[in-house]
Amino acid sequence: MASPNSMTPQRLRRLLLHPSFLGVAGIGFLLVFWTLVAGLGVLDPLFLPSPTAVLAAGREELANGDLWRDISASLLRVLGGFTLSALVAFPLGIAMGTNATLCRLLEPLLALLRYMPAPAFIPLLIIYFGVGELPKVLLIFIGTLFFNTLMIMDAVKFVPRELLETTRTLGGRQRDLLLRVITPYIAPQVLDAFRINMAAAWNLVIVAELVAAESGLGKHITLAQRFLRTDQIFLGLIVIGLIGLLIDLSFRMLMRRSCAWAT
């Protein structure tokens, strides 16, 4: 008889098909493929540095503190711009979802602005506010506000009418509808919208730093390109991806803990 801790075929199959294992396996396959291609010398190291070269560049950047400085600068810009966007989009989206007149007034305008690429605003932001931190934060704000607002508005529109009518029948006021019915119901959709649009915020901060910045991961990549340090370019790209993955996982964890009833 097999012991309780033995690896039966069923347990092995569940392990191999577990989402975490599959995710790690996908990343591991990419690393192995990268190592093999770089080791075989198919491409010049100038174009494709090996993982060990990128790791060595990471140790160098960590030792002199440049990498930590760039990560901190980019994160602060993203958090500042996206937080401002969320604080405006959440009440505005709920107001548009619950008020038909306001929705008819603002939805066409927001839909129009949504299709204007945010990087196109960079020249105006630099003219208006210079090359300091404010235009970078405002770029992220502009690039995520319209998407956040419209996605929250759509979530409000899908709140079952029966819930609203039942609340009114039981004597609930508008405040009760907002705080006890609408907000809890749309919470999973709001967090999911923020999770999706955070990727856009992260992309925008890199674009802004490529144009004009004294620090940040975008600036790090620009300087590496200027001196043909492809190992540092790969390092910057990997760090950007890892931070984005951590942010995404944080939103997923927040959703599981705060909206367990929905997941």
Q: 42-51, 92-101, 117-126, 173-182: which range is least confident on average?
A: 173-182
Distance CA 235, CA 56 (A): 10
Annotate the chain with three-state secondary structure: CCCCCCCCHHHHHHHHCCHHHHHHHHHHHHHHHHHHHHHHCCCCCCCCCCHHHHHHHHHHHHHHCHHHHHHHHHHHHHHHHHHHHHHHHHHHHHHHHHCHHHHHHHHHHHHHHHCCCHHHHHHHHHHHHCCCHHHHHHHHHHHHHHHHHHHHHHHHHCCCHHHHHHHHHCCCCHHHHHHHHHHHHHHHHHHHHHHHHHHHHHHHHHHHHHHCCCCCHHHHHHHHHHCCCHHHHHHHHHHHHHHHHHHHHHHHHHHHHHCCCCC
Q: Where are the domains of the chain?
A: 52-258
Is 1.10.10.10 the CATH classification of the domain at 52-258? Answer: no
What is the rounded CA–CA span in Å between residue 184 and residue 97?
Answer: 15
Separation CA 92–CA 107 (nearest Å):
11
For the whole prediction, is pTM greater than 0.85?
no
> Residue 188 region, left (φ>0) first, then alpha (ψ -120 to 50), else beta?
alpha
Model confidence over 145-175: pLDDT tens digits? Answer: 999 999 999 999 888 887 777 777 777 777 7
Read off the pLDDT of residues 183-193 as tens digits, 9 standing for 90 and up.
Answer: 888 899 999 99
Q: Which two tokens stand for residue 141?
A: 């704000």
Q: At what angle do helices 183-211 and 230-258 cross, to 10 degrees?
A: 170
Say if residue 15's pLDDT is above 80: no
Q: What is the pLDDT of residues 18-29, one digit of tens each?
A: 666 677 777 888
Give the 3-state secondary structure of 48-95: CCCHHHHHHHHHHHHHHCHHHHHHHHHHHHHHHHHHHHHHHHHHHHHH
- pLDDT tens for each residue of 227-241: 888 999 999 999 988
Q: Name the burial class of residue 126, with classes exposed (0-12), middle (13-18) and buried (19+) by CB atoms within 10 angstroms of its CB.
A: middle
Give the pLDDT confidence of 202-226 residue by residue, as tens digits. Answer: 888 888 887 777 888 888 888 888 8
